[in-house]
A and B are shown apart, each in its own frame.
Chain A
């Protein structure tokens, strides 16, 4: 049974800072891992999907890495902006396309 943990639970940084969000998972026999963004009261938006054959995936100022052997993934956000303020969730598959989510990291970027 897959379990996903995210630390920290909340993070507050000044605008312009680079930051790292962490995600760990218990079952390393995964084919991929996804990072999502959730704005308050809204649904989920997929940010990055890293396949097990990749070690990193980049989209704009976002970079996600995956280390299956250690059961960890990180989401790196460069030059943070107030518009990046949201909850960031990672999700790992348990079987098929069933996703198990972490509880998320609440990010606040102060201007």
Chain B
């Protein structure tokens, strides 16, 4: 039944050690999103893919990259995690990028940076 799956649910990494978070979907949606949510803060959009087209938000640090090898999977790569990157990372999907399209969220990956 799970529609948007994120792995792992909890990830611990060391300062500066690259880490990859995974998201997969069974909805066959065109759009996949990555949000960062720090403790007690609002989720903030990092970037989204429309099919294979990558759309980066202007204020997303260069330290964050993403890959979408196929419709079902999308990865978030953090090249050199800093202490400030500790957060919940949420993946979401939607059929299209229109305002009428509901976004479906995964359970999130909580990243700890030591």
| Interface residue ranges, A against B (CB under 8 Å) | 4, 31-32, 34, 36, 41-46, 49, 51, 89, 93, 96-104
Contacts and interface: CB of A to CB of B under 8 A. Distances in A.
Interface of B: 4, 6, 31, 40-45, 48, 88, 90, 92, 94, 96-108, 110
Contacts, number: 57
Of B31, B92, B96, the most chain A CB neighbours within 10 A belong to B92
Given A31-B99, A41-B88, A43-B4, 4 more contacts: A32-B99, A44-B43, A46-B104, A101-B42
Contacts of A51: 100
Of A34, A45, A49, A99, the most chain B CB neighbours within 10 A belong to A99
Contacts of A96: 97-99
A34 B40 CA distance: 19
B45 A46 contact: no
6 contacts: A41-B108, A43-B105, A43-B108, A96-B98, A97-B99, A101-B43
A51 B107 CA distance: 26
B42 A97 contact: no
A44 to B, nearest CB: 4
Contacts of B108: 41-43
A41 B3 CA distance: 18
A104 B36 CA distance: 15
Contacts of A103: 40-42
Contacts of B92: 44
Contacts of A43: 4, 6, 90, 105-108
Contacts of A41: 88, 108, 110
Contacts of B101: 97
Contacts of A102: 42
> 7 tightest A-B contacts by CB?
A101-B42, A31-B99, A44-B105, A43-B105, A43-B107, A96-B97, A97-B97
Contacts of B42: 4, 89, 100-104
Contacts of B97: 96-97
Contact of A98 (B45, B88, B100): B45
